[in-house]
Amino acid sequence: MSIQTAPAVELRNVAVRFGSFTAVAEMNLEVKKAEFVAVVGPTGCGKSTILNVVTGLLKAAHGDVEIFGERLKGLNSRSGYMLQQEAILPWKTAEDNVGLGLVFQGLSKDEARLRAREWMAKVGLKGFEKRYPHQLSGGQRKRIAMAQTLIMEPQIVLMDEPFSALDVHTRRLMHRILLDLWQADKRSLIFITHDLEEAIVLADRVVVMSAGPGSRMVGEVEINLPRPRDVSQLATTDEFVSLYRRIWDMLGKEVEKSYVNQ
Ligand SMILES: Nc1ncnc2c1ncn2[C@@H]1O[C@H](COP(=O)(O)OP(=O)(O)OP(=O)(O)O)[C@@H](O)[C@H]1O
């Protein structure tokens, strides 16, 4: 398969072990170019572990990890990672936090600042460039973290429960901002969440993982809801409810198992 047509990410029969503990036994996952995939699963099933495999931070004990058709060796330079806890430096202004990765890459501070200002506007934070993190709300800090990841223009964006700490209204706002940015400049995106509603609202496809240990993919459902999506209305539609039921049918069983295992 050529690099043009190969999936952005392909995991085949991937297992991950920590010593004698098999966290993930047999994971399959394919993410196409420009596709938005959400991964859901019970707590501790290995969702973050899978993202770490895609970044190259963790090595699979067996199985294949391919990025745009090439076997991943070492760190994945095409991926950008946004974590649940923001990597924001308290002594730097918002714009300098956003431009941090560019400075590490060798851009001058002034050039990085210029680019950072463009990204601050894209995430709706024009006018907040000189604020320090403690002068921003939780939602605004998330927008900084999102700009910090996207300014690097990774071909594969990895998000690990990025909005889980936010209240429901701010979360919805973040969904809108994320979908607008993704729609404008489609990149491959893997989004980890516990929240099935969030997964359906955002993604093209929802992948369900089984309860751990030894987890695997138990199913996937295409989310054929039209785009652009109205995140405030979507969850009340019949189509949404029917997708929710279908996925919960698989996920609910795994969540039950994880309670028993704990
Ligand atoms: N570095 C590590 N050493 C040992 N065990 C680990 C390590 N990292 C993760 N694990 C274990 O691997 C399993 C999967 O962890 P992981 O964090 O990937 O789950 P998760 O699905 O992301 O969990 P959550 O939904 O609670 O965030 C868990 O049982 C966890 O305790």
Respond yes or no on whether ipTM tops 0.95.
yes
Distances (CA, A) of 226 to 11, 165, 201, 230: 28, 28, 10, 10
Domains and CATH numbers, the chain: 1-78+189-262 (3.40.50.300)
Centre a 10 Å sphere on the Cβ of residue 234 and count the other Cβ atoms it contains: 17
Per-residue pLDDT tens over the stretch 69-100: 999 999 999 999 987 777 899 999 999 999 99
pTM for the structure as a whole: 0.94
Q: What CA–CA distance (Å, rounded) separates 62 from 52?
A: 15
* CA atoms within 13 A of residue 144's CA, in its CB half-sphere: 30
Interacting residues of 251 by C-beta distance below 8 A, sequence separation 6+: 40, 41, 42, 196, 208
Cα 185 to middle of ligand 1, angstroms: 32
* Start-to-end CA span in the chain (Å): 43
Residue nearest to atom 6 of ligand 1 (CA): 18
The 10s digit of each residue's pLDDT in 138-187 is: 899 999 999 999 999 999 999 999 998 889 999 999 999 999 999 998 89
Measured in angstroms, how far is the CA atom of residue 213 from the centroid of ligand 1? 9
- Residue pair 153/118 in contact (Cβ under 8 Å)? The answer is no
Among candidate residues 198, 215, 204, the one with its CA nearest the CA of residue 254: 215
Task: Select the more confidently predicted residue: 262 or 205.
Answer: 205
Structure-derived torsion over alpha carbons of residues 37, 224, 221, 164, reported in degrees to the nearest 10: 50
User: Is the shortest distance between the CB of 46 and ligand 1 below 6 Å?
Assistant: yes
Closest residue by Cα to atom 4, ligand 1, is 18
Whether 44 lines ligand 1, by a CB cut-off of 6 Å, is yes
The residue whose CA has the least distance to atom 28 of ligand 1 is 44
